[in-house]
């Protein structure tokens, strides 16, 4: 294999891994508790691939608009990210 071919393959592999890293992966979860006053939602979630987090039950932040679409006991698919250092629900399917 020529050096040029090897290099272009390496570039392709890098591009593929970068696009994977930036892809948003929806995670399944069940809403255990909703505290709209505090802006907090407890979710029993499956592994959060983008955040490198195993399955667990934990509290997320969520804004009013997001919480309006939630109810205790709901099965959801969601995106989470760190917003000002706090894990926050950023999207719902
Ligand atoms: Cu967690």
pLDDT in the model for residue 24: 82
* CA 76 to ligand 1 centroid distance, Å: 15
Domain ranges of the chain: 24-92
Helix (H, G, I), strand (E, B) or coil at 89: strand
CB 10 within 8 A of CB 59: no
Q: Which residue has the higher pLDDT, 23 or 63?
A: 63
From the centroid of its chain, how far is CA 48? 6
Classify burial at 8, counting beta carbons within 10 Å of its beta carbon; exposed 0-12, middle 13-18, buried 19 or more.
Answer: exposed
- Tens digits of per-residue pLDDT, 41-58? 999 999 999 899 999 999
Q: What is the dihedral of CA 8, 13, 93, 36, to 10 degrees?
A: -110
* CA 17 to ligand 1 centroid distance, Å: 24
* CA 74 to ligand 1 centroid distance, Å: 17
Mean pLDDT score, 64-93: 96
pLDDT in the model for residue 33: 98
Mean pLDDT score, 65-70: 96
pLDDT in the model for residue 45: 98
User: For domain 24-92, which architecture applies?
Assistant: Beta Barrel (2.40)
* CA 53 to ligand 1 centroid distance, Å: 6
pTM, 2 dp: 0.75
Please give all residues whose CB falls under 5 A of ion ligand 1, grouped by chain where several chains appear: 53, 56, 58
Q: Round to whole Å and give the CA distance between 87 and 83.
A: 6
């Amino acid at each position: 294999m020529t050096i040029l071919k090897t290099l272009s393959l390496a570039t392709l592999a890098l591009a593929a891994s970068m696009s994977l890293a930036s892809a948003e992966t929806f995670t399944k979860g069940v809403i255990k508790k909703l505290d709209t006053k505090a802006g907090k939602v407890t979710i029993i979630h499956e592994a959060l691939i983008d955040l490198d987090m195993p399955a667990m039950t934990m509290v997320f932040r969520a804004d009013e608009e997001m919480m309006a679409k939630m109810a205790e006991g709901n099965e959801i698919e969601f995106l989470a990210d760190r917003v000002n250092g706090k894990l926050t629900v950023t999207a719902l399917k």
